[in-house]
Amino acid sequence: MIHTEKQAAPFLYSLDENLEKVKRELGNSTDLVTRQVRLEAVDQMQVGILYTEGLVDKNMISGFMESLMLHARKEDFPVEANPLMLMKDFLLTIGGVEEVYDFDHLYDAILTGDTVILVDGYSYGFIANTKQWEDRGVQETSVQTVVRGSREAFSENLRTNTALVRRRINNRNLWLETMQIGDMTQTKVAMMYIKGVVQESVVTEVRERLGQITIDGILESGNIEEMIQDHTFTPFPTIYNTERPDSVAAGLLEGRVAILVDGTPIVLLVPAVFVQFFQSSEDYYMRADFGILRILRLISFFIALLAPSLYVAVTTFHQEMLQTNLIMSIAAQREGVPFPAAIEALLMEFTFEMLREAGVRMPRAVGSAISIVGALVLGEAAVQAGLVSPATVIVVSITAITSFVFPSFSMSIPIRLLRFGVIALAASFGLIGVFVGMIALCIHLCTLRSFGVPYMAPLAPVNLADQKDTLIRLPIWMMHTRPHFLRQKNSVRERKSKI
């Protein structure tokens, strides 16, 4: 936590000099507040109070200043006793008070929202925990929405976030470790796990990887994710992220480790597996037959990945596979189109991706413009202009819809990337190319690991018991065990009921 190379500098005895030094070293920053008061009760003792405006609870500060100046009586401070210790015990009616001996700790304290109290003639002071700042508060989920289930989302405040998880798991085995990462930003990063459920080696691994990060700043959990993930050169996310406290709680109960980062509502869960990105927390709240929707999502995955390339392959190389009427109508549509199917598909996919990107980045005020123009370039007008065939428009639209099906946004990125690669393969080698691409994808997926867990578990390696909660979800009373691929110590989720 030391951001200067120097040795920790101890305090001087003179309060004035101490305050001067602090002001000088913080560059006379205008949000630093230093106040000096004289204590009537304790022999006209000079007391200095330092804090950063905006990071502290002003009521709390005025509260203890009041108690220092008004309620302190002479008889509470016998001459022979150390007045500072008495001050700490009697007067500071605040939760966390600790002593501080050097300037480095002082800077850390006042810059994170604590208040430092220094006394003239003594080379140490107190840190009082007065942190409070404006935040967004707990709001509704905006990315991972559900029809049924909790609507709370994480916020930017680490304390609020840990509290949200703790409220769901009231157990003394829910452990929390905090560390500070980022030489400049000193961002608080917390690991949460359930002792006795989680596999110890995963916890150690996470702790080690977090400890190895040396970077100047962590601004979002994405920074952490990139530093600790197993594989960088893969389009697939090997760390799960969520904004839902109930997803995190469920992950902890399964034996995962949650990584919470101060300043972001996105929480990381490790280890992550492929199928996890097709599961929504709602799957567990609705009745079990709702879980069949996961198969729908998996089909959407394949459609989103393959639809344009299959279209290209079939229309360019394998016309005989289609029924005669169908191929006739497609050929008729394509008659006036100047491009080969591959170029056409690439063009439309590209347009769609650009529209999507524009839609996300655009200021809300001009939002309606993009939808009007978008409908033109991706629709009837493009067809009438003779640039694309209606079949291509339909294929691209299906792809677009299916790529929004996944509950987790991070899974749609690899699909968007790989889609273009598969189109290129289809355009050059037809279905053989698509097949080769898919096998290569399988090989790639099977080599991935996330914190020691094979990424494709429980599909490969197969675990039959885990299939209860993979592509379908069986009723909760049938799922007696936690997912085995996480190799927890205690895998029994549900005691056998005697009904």
Partner 1 sequence: MILVALFGIGDAILYVPSLTATAAKQDAWISALIGWGEGFLLTYLYVSLSMRYPNKSIFQYSAEILGKWLGKAVAVLFISYFFIDASLMLMEIGDFVTTQIMQETPIEIILVLFLVIIVMGVRSGPEAFSRVSELLFPYFLLLFFILIAFISPQIKIENVKPVLAHGLAPVFGGNFRYAGYLLETVIMIVIFPLVKRPARAAKAYILGILLANFFLTIITAVAILVLGADITVLLAYPSYTLAQKISIGNFFERIEVLMAVIWFITLFVKITICYYATNIGIAYTLGLRDYRHLTLPLGMIMIVVALTTMPNRPYFDSFVSDIWMPYSLTYGLFLPVLLLSVGALRKKPVC
Chain residues in the site for partner 1 (CB under 8 A): 317-318, 320-321, 323, 429-433, 435-436, 439-440, 442-447, 454, 456, 459-462
> CA 244, 249, 255, 257 torsion: positive or negative?
positive
Closest to partner 1 by CB, 85 vs 442, is 442
Quote the least distance from Cβ 320 to partner 1, whole Å.
Answer: 6
Enumerate long-range contacts of 160-168, CB under 8 Å, 24 or more apart. 160/135, 161/245, 161/260, 161/265, 161/267, 162/190, 162/192, 162/260, 164/138, 164/245, 165/192, 165/245, 165/248, 165/249, 165/252, 165/258, 165/260, 167/245, 168/245, 168/246, 168/249
Here the tokens at position 120 are 């003239």
Residues 23-36 as b or e (16 or more Cβ within 10 Å = b): eeebeeeeebbbee
Examine residue 245 and say whether the peptide bond preceding it is cis (omega within 30 degrees of 0): no
Structure tokens, 204: 């150690």
Distance between CA atoms of 278 and 473, rounded to whole angstroms?
12
Helix H or strand E encompassing 178: strand 174-181
In degrees, rounded to 5, the angle at the alpha carbon of residue 453 between the alpha carbons of residues 451 and 458 is: 150
Nearer to partner 1, 61 or 275 (CB): 275
Decide whether 336 or 461 has the Cβ nearer to partner 1: 461
Element (H, E) at 34: strand 32-39
Closer to partner 1 by CB, 442 or 478: give it: 442
Count Cβ atoms below 10 Å from residue 99 Cβ, excluding itself: 12
Cα distance between residue 413 and residue 409, in whole Å: 7
Closest separation in Å from C-beta 429 to partner 1: 6
Q: State in angstroms the smallest separation of the CB of 418 from partner 1.
A: 15
State in angstroms the smallest separation of the CB of 311 from partner 1.
15
Euclidean distance between CA atoms 336 and 331, whole angstroms:
10
> For residues 332 and 460, which CB has a smaller minimum distance to partner 1 in the complex?
460
Residue 42 vs 425, nearer CB to partner 1: 425
Least distance in Å: CB of 443 to partner 1?
Answer: 5
Nearer to partner 1, 1 or 464 (CB): 464
Name the residue nearer to partner 1 (CB basis): 81 or 442: 442
Shortest Å distance, C-beta 162 to partner 1: 37
CA-based angle 408:414:417, to the nearest 5?
140
Cβ neighbour number for residue 190 with a 10 Å cutoff: 19
Choose between 292 and 436: whose C-beta lies nearer to partner 1: 436
Q: Which of 472, 464, 476 is nearest to 484 (CA)?
A: 464
CB nearer to partner 1: give 257 or 303.
303
Q: Shortest gap between Cβ of 178 and partner 1 (angstroms)?
A: 37
Q: How far is the CB of 210 from partner 1 (least distance, A)?
A: 28
Tell me the C-alpha distance between 402 and 400, whole Å: 6
C-alpha distances in Å from residue 458, one per residue of 121, 273, 469, 490: 67, 8, 9, 18
DSSP type of residue 143: S
> Minimum distance from CB of 195 to partner 1 (Å)?
29
Least distance to partner 1, CB of residue 446, Å = 4
Nearer of residues 155 and 450 to partner 1, judged by Cβ: 450
What's the CA gap between 66 and 71, in Å, rounded? 7
The Cα–Cα gap between 140 and 499 comes to 38
CA distance 295 to 310: 20
Q: Which of 333, 334, 331, 335 is nearest to 323 (CA)?
A: 331
C-beta closer to partner 1: residue 77 or 236:
236
Q: How far is the CB of 462 from partner 1 (least distance, A)?
A: 5
Question: CB of residue 463 vs partner 1: minimum separation in angstroms?
Answer: 11
Based on CB atoms, which residue is closest to partner 1, 420 or 435? Answer: 435
Partner residues linked to 115 by β-bridges: 128
* Residue 454 CB, nearest approach to partner 1 (Å): 7
